[in-house]
């Protein structure tokens, strides 16, 4: 079945475009949300990502760890805080700092 996206046609499920649904399918919905949060909030801490995405801090930590291992984000520890930023590969995947997703 082909998705419709033109004027006067039904919107895609959950208001997500084809690219966003593809990212969710590749990464998993929660991990994709975490990646988008990092894109929208450069240098955000794990706690900030947790609050922004409404997932438990341990869940945010787990997903940022997987995203870092995949080369999609970078992480820098500063004192007791861990800050996250998109890596070039993450920027490429999301396109123009997350604007496509």
pLDDT at 5: 41
pTM over 0.95: no
DSSP string of 19-45? HHHHHHHHH-HHHHHHHHHHHHSTTEE
Predicted confidence band at 14 (pLDDT cuts at 50, 70, 90)?
very low
All residues at 6 or more sequence positions from 12 whose CB lies less than 8 Å from its CB, including other chains? 3, 4, 5, 18, 21
**pLDDT at 22 > cutoff 50:** yes
């Amino acid at each position: 079945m082909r998705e419709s996206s033109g004027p006067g046609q039904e919107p895609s499920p959950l208001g997500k475009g084809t690219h966003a649904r593809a990212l969710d399918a590749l990464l998993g919905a929660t991990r994709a949300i975490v990646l988008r949060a990092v894109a929208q909030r450069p240098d955000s801490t794990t706690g900030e990502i947790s609050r922004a995405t409404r997932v438990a801090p341990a869940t945010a930590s787990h997903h940022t760890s997987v995203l870092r291992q995949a080369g999609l984000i970078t992480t820098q520890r500063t004192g007791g805080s861990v800050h996250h930023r998109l890596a070039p590969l993450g920027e490429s995947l999301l396109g123009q700092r997350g604007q496509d997703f």
